[in-house]
A = this chain, B = another copy of it.
Amino acid sequence: MDHETSRRWLIAERPIGRALSLDDFRMSTAPLPPVGDGQVKLRTLYLGFDPALKSWMENIAGYAEPTEIGGLMPGMGLGQVVESASPAFAPGDLALGLIGWQDIAVVDAGRLEPVPAGVPPTAALGVLGLTGRTAYFGLLEIGRPRPGDTLVVSGAAGAVGSVVGQIGKIAGCRVIGIAGGAEKCRWLTEELGFDAAVDYKAEKPRRRLRDLCPDGIDILFDNVGGEVLNDCLGRLAFGARVVICGGIARYNADPRDPDGMPAGPRNYFNVVFTQATIQGFLVHHFKDRYPVADRRLAEWLRRGDIRQGEDILHGFENAPLALMRLFEGANRGKQLLEIGAPA
């Protein structure tokens, strides 16, 4: 009985107020329970990673299910059904859910979704998952693009940013990405159709944006915060919309300490001169409308208007490293971990 036990990554420490470390995770082996009524046994093929998982580990974000020290590390996974006691899934089916970091699991079928047909299965962890929905609602509902707008995306080579830029092109915008490194910038312009890319590691965004956006930035989609956000706020056009989606620089601050957060952007006051709007959002605010977003994103993916960028690490033992890559800006596109191939 090969699969009577599962390997699982547990939370060893809460990484509050500091960067993640390998010591925050502990691998363990646990016997698999029998498959009860309404449950399935799922062999994990891929795990998907998102910066919010660090907040979940800290248990203080207030917008996620609580976690426990010594408890299973949460996370999205894509797996293949091995055994089923639910009419919803048959053995061999691919399924998706918040299954946590385990290589095989017995889970309630109600916590799983089928994987959409006609697209690569990993798209369900990216463009057709919360990543794509975040890009869709953030850009279209908060950013409100109009054809001809200049859209600047920070963290443009990340999972969300790379989709935002591609949706921006569909919406008729001129799209400029800000990313770290020549390779990422080339990827944005040559493979994803961005009009230009700024390598913030090699050039000053402030100066480059002045050349690239002579009429100012109409939409800024910010995944980063810090100096890049500040530089962009200095170049807003009249009536600009600034979408605050992420702030990778903030993840290592202690949210319980109101004075411990990094400084905000000095240039926030430019909204006075430009009558610009800075607005944030959480994707679950749009939950009722996920089906519409999913249908449109799937259609764009099938037509090739959007490509899913993937950065795939291999081996279950590397799950903590895969998560840590996000905070180092190491990933290009959606960070995934491949654990097995479908049978």
Q: Which residues of A contact B (CB under 8 A)?
A: 62-63, 142, 206, 225, 230, 234, 244-245, 247, 250, 258-259, 261-282, 285
Contact = CB atoms under 8 A, between A and B. Distances in A.
A244 B268 CA distance: 9
Contacts of A264: 230, 263-269
Nearest to A62: B273
Contacts of A272: 244-245, 247, 280-282
Given A247-B269, A264-B269, 12 more contacts: A225-B269, A259-B266, A262-B266, A264-B267, A264-B268, A269-B280, A271-B280, A275-B279, A275-B280, A276-B279, A277-B278, A278-B278
A263 B270 CA distance: 13
Contact of A263 (B62, B245, B266): B266
Given A279-B277, A280-B276, A261 B271 contact: no
Given A206-B258, A279-B278, A268 B271 contact: no
B250 A269 contact: yes
B268 A265 contact: yes
B278 A282 contact: no
Contacts of A247: 269, 272
A266 B261 contact: yes
Nearest to A234: B258
28 contacts: A62-B273, A142-B275, A206-B258, A225-B269, A230-B264, A234-B258, A244-B269, A244-B271, A245-B272, A261-B266, A263-B263, A263-B264, A264-B266, A264-B269, A268-B268, A268-B278, A269-B280, A271-B278, A271-B279, A271-B280, A272-B282, A273-B280, A273-B282, A274-B280, A275-B279, A275-B281, A276-B280, A277-B278
Given A258-B206, A264-B265, A268-B265, A273 B63 contact: yes
A270 B279 CA distance: 10
A250 to B, nearest CB: 6
Contacts of A269: 225, 244, 247, 250, 261, 264, 280
Contacts of A266: 258-259, 261-264
A148 B266 CA distance: 33
A281 to B, nearest CB: 5
